[in-house]
Amino acid sequence: MPKRPNWRAVKIHRNYTMEEAARALGVAKGTLARWIKSGDLPALTDHRPFLILGKDLQEFAARRKKVKQSCNLAECYCFTCRAPREAAGKIADYWQASAKTGHLEALCGTCNRLMHKRFSLACLPEMRAVLDLTIRQAPRPIGKCR
Ligand SMILES: [Zn+2]
């Protein structure tokens, strides 16, 4: 089963039973029942089998679709805030991670937790223009530590 509901598979001019709706979205029947019970997903529950209008199902699935958040150059994704955040004081540590990528470490401007970001070395000059970068030595791989 796919992990992400496929709302494009839902036809708006069709009615779905619980089984059909679960199959169309690629979720378990229990998940669907929970959505109906919580009132998030409207359904016709007066008679069995319960029916879900295709239009309702599609609107619900589209609402649940997560919006991908991308960071701009001066931002890192903060896992604590669950959003792109600017580095505190626009200060970040940088080291070269590989021949083509750099690694950025900064404190979140909102919650002060550590954030990380990988980026292409081609972006380094632009990155330097927006952030105060401190260049560090790359940490040694764990396997080579003594
Ligand atoms: Zn944060």
Domains of the chain: 7-64 (1.10.10), 75-144 (no CATH)
Residue pair 96/133 in contact (Cβ under 8 Å)? The answer is no
Question: Does the global pTM surpass 0.85?
Answer: no
Tell me the C-alpha distance between 146 and 143, whole Å. 9
The residue-averaged pLDDT of 109-115 equals 94
Determine the 3-state secondary structure of 20 from DSSP. helix
What is the Å distance from ligand 1's center to 15 Cα? 43
pLDDT of 1 above 50: no
pLDDT of 38 above 70: yes
Q: Which residues neighbour ligand 1 (ion) by CB within 5 Å?
A: 78, 80-81, 85, 108, 110-111
Residue pair 115/71 in contact (Cβ under 8 Å)? The answer is no
What is the Å distance from ligand 1's center to 89 Cα? 14
pLDDT at residue 64, rounded to an integer: 77
pLDDT at residue 24, rounded to an integer: 85
Q: How confident is the model at residue 5 (pLDDT cuts 50, 70, 90)?
A: low
The residue-averaged pLDDT of 27-44 equals 90
pLDDT digits (tens, 9 = 90+) for 56-101: 988 888 787 766 778 888 899 999 988 899 999 999 999 988 889 9
Q: Mean pLDDT of all residues in the chain?
A: 86
CB atoms within 10 A of CB 35: 21
What is the Å distance from ligand 1's center to 132 Cα? 19
